[in-house]
Amino acid sequence: MEIKPFFTLISKHRPAKWIIAAAIVLGLLETAMSLLIPLLTKDVVEQLSASSLETFTIVSLAAVFILQTATSGFSVYTMSYVGQFIIGGIRKELWERVLRLPVPFYDRNTSGETMSRVTNDTNVIKDFIISHVISFLGGIVSIIGGVAILLYIDWKMTVLMFIAVPLAMLILWPLGSKMFKISKSMQDETALFQGDLGRVLSDIRLVKASLAEEVEYKQGKGRIKSLFRFGLQEAKIMSIVTPLMMTVMLLILVLLIGYGGVRVAQNSLSTGELVAIILYMFQIVMPFTQMASFFTQFQKAMGASMRIIELLKEPAESGAAAAGMKVQPLALDKDLTLAFEGVSFAYSADRPIVKNLTFEAQPGGMTAIVGPSGTGKTTLFSLIERFYDPSDGVIRYGDVPIADIGLEGWRSRIAYVSQDSPMMAGTIRHNLTYGLEGTDESKIKEALAQSNLSEFIASLPQGLETEVGERGVKLSGGQRQRLAIARALLRDPDILLLDEATAHLDSDSEKLVQEALNELMKARTTLVIAHRLSTISNADKIIVLEKGEVTGQGTHAELLQAHELYAKLVEQQFIDNQAV
């Protein structure tokens, strides 16, 4: 268990040094005020015993109480600011990293696990900083100051008080290491549970339609049982720590009162001094109790920081822009050929998806991709968008490998319209201009007109400010498709990727969407995953994929004559009736 990475993470996002110093100084002043109280209380007791209570003593005690309260309040607020500032910085870095991570990372990890690192793990660190750091530093000062004053008052009583403390520390230390392991396991399990929860809630309609509530309940119940088990293990340790510290405190208190009473009876110790010693005992032993909690929380924070650092170490997308910077694309003409040259890709070494793909998509033309299900058509689009890098071969735009083009610049040239275009919770305007904030209103109106949406938007009381609901559930399939097409028109792409957008629509919606697509495809290089004969027959070139390989290229007429599988697909109306 290394401590350095934790402190490196914290120091990287700390506020100005003077703010941290102010928080520490205020905390130490509060402790100093608390150290004066037993001394003043001693004077009060002794003066009361002598029936000569002085006004100055009462005023001094009251002033110290007021100062302690004030410094405590300012200390708590300042330290809270420090904690919130540090966690805000860590979360911003995590948020930046999450947005820049490549798609394969999300193939390996659930969204809930990632969310847990950004929210739950950072909260653990925040609670540690705000609730335990200052109390730990103040506790050290309280122990040192209290011991120094006690030695001045009566060194024999001080030695007696420290008989039980080292023994308790020796027992507590190994428990902290055990707590670290339990805490990290608990955080991992919490992340898995949150991942399951996010998955189920995001696909709740599928869960219900599949009658899978019982299956998901059993899996969730298993996660909850694991959390319960880890919680009990944590509780077992705390059940040892808490009674042990209370026992130490009571043992010391009994010893002090017993021995102190004898000393008072022998007139070698005053009543006021005994009261002060007992009060200092609490001020010394209580920090030891807090230290047990501090080390427990520190172990939790260490576990949380390890998970955060693991995420921050994940490499960002190759060619992704650094925070706050723009990656400039190469100067490219619009009318360039998109070419695959011997491109292969596999999610894992034993699972090749596409093999040695070689073909060209001519500028301004439509290239249709056909083939049975599972032949790599969607993967081909993902390679064009650079969600994945080819295992072998190269994709060029003109003479330039697309890997050499700035990622932001390359993706700005592409628009993708799928069968079920994703929508985000928010307004129609938000979804329309997503990633294109500040778009001119006249361009929005033009895109709506070209995508046959103007009449629909005008019929809505709130127009573009109408909420679409989560995943656009308040819109019909055709409306979502036309909105996706309008969004693509606003991007004004050079390359258009279509996973036939008219599939699964009724005839009226299909007509409107097809008209919008015709506007969108004008003078753009278009690649279509084709499901319908009508789409294929209009293509300038058709690419037939079979088991991840190109087995045919040509026009509809040419392939009918020369390609057996293609002819069979057309004959069986496979392309018309089934997503391939």
Confidence of residue 323 (pLDDT cuts 50, 70, 90): very low
Last residue of some domain: 312, 346, 372?
Answer: 312
Averaged over 551-573, what is the pLDDT?
82
Q: Which amino acid belongs to residue 394?
A: V
Residue 527, domain extent: 338-577
User: Does residue 420 form part of some domain?
Assistant: yes
Residues 314, 98: Cα–Cα separation, whole Å: 9
User: Does residue 324 form part of some domain?
Assistant: no
What's residue 515's pLDDT? Answer: 75
Split into its structural domains, the chain has a count of 2
User: Does residue 417 form part of some domain?
Assistant: yes
pLDDT single digits (tens) 255-279:
778 888 888 888 888 888 888 888 8
Residue 327 has pLDDT above 60, yes or no: no
What's residue 575's pLDDT? Answer: 46
Q: Are 297 and 136 in contact (CB under 8 A)?
A: no
Confidence of residue 333 (pLDDT cuts 50, 70, 90): low
Handedness of CA 89, 95, 98, 101 (dihedral sign): negative
What's residue 579's pLDDT? Answer: 42
Q: Kindly state whether residues 532 and 462 are assigned to the same domain.
A: yes
Residues 559, 539: Cα–Cα separation, whole Å: 12
Averaged over 82-87, what is the pLDDT?
90
Handedness of CA 343, 345, 350, 355 (dihedral sign): negative
Q: Kindly state whether residues 155 and 303 are assigned to the same domain.
A: yes
Last residue of some domain: 265, 297, 312?
Answer: 312
Which has more pLDDT, 363 or 320?
363
Q: What three-state secondary structure class fits 334?
A: coil
Residues 287, 139: Cα–Cα separation, whole Å: 5
Q: Kindly state whether residues 93 and 237 are assigned to the same domain.
A: yes
Q: Kindly state whether residues 173 and 77 are assigned to the same domain.
A: yes
Q: Kindly state whether residues 429 and 510 are assigned to the same domain.
A: yes
Confidence of residue 325 (pLDDT cuts 50, 70, 90): very low
Is 500 annotated in the active site? yes
Which has more pLDDT, 209 or 316?
316
What's residue 580's pLDDT? Answer: 39
What's residue 329's pLDDT? Answer: 47
User: Does residue 319 form part of some domain?
Assistant: no
Which stretch of 86-95, 125-134, 233-242 has the lowest confidence by average pLDDT?
233-242
Q: What three-state secondary structure class fits 551?
A: strand
Q: Kindly state whether residues 296 and 344 are assigned to the same domain.
A: no
Q: Kindly state whether residues 285 and 377 are assigned to the same domain.
A: no
What's residue 328's pLDDT? Answer: 42
Last residue of some domain: 295, 312, 329?
Answer: 312
pLDDT single digits (tens) 91-122:
888 888 888 888 888 888 777 778 888 888 88
Q: What three-state secondary structure class fits 343?
A: strand
User: Does residue 333 form part of some domain?
Assistant: no
Residue 209 has pLDDT above 50, yes or no: yes
Confidence of residue 225 (pLDDT cuts 50, 70, 90): confident
Residue count of the chain = 580
Q: Which residues touch 100 (CB under 8 Å, ≥6 apart)?
A: 316, 317, 320
User: Does residue 317 form part of some domain?
Assistant: no
- The CATH number for 431's domain is 3.40.50.300
Residue percentage of the chain with pLDDT more than 90: 4
Q: Kindly state whether residues 248 and 299 are assigned to the same domain.
A: yes
Give me the catalytic one of 30, 189, 234, 500: 500
Q: Are 155 and 327 in contact (CB under 8 A)?
A: no
The secondary structure of residue 117, as a DSSP letter, is: I
User: Does residue 223 form part of some domain?
Assistant: yes
Residues 255, 240: Cα–Cα separation, whole Å: 22
Q: Kindly state whether residues 307 and 346 are assigned to the same domain.
A: no
pLDDT single digits (tens) 492-508:
888 989 887 666 556 66
Which tokens hold the place of 76?
């708590």
Q: Kindly state whether residues 49 and 150 are assigned to the same domain.
A: yes
- The CATH number for 43's domain is 1.20.1560.10
Which stretch of 160-169, 360-369, 563-572 has the lowest confidence by average pLDDT?
160-169
User: Does residue 325 form part of some domain?
Assistant: no
Q: Kindly state whether residues 260 and 133 are assigned to the same domain.
A: yes
What's residue 340's pLDDT? Answer: 93
Q: Kindly state whether residues 362 and 442 are assigned to the same domain.
A: yes
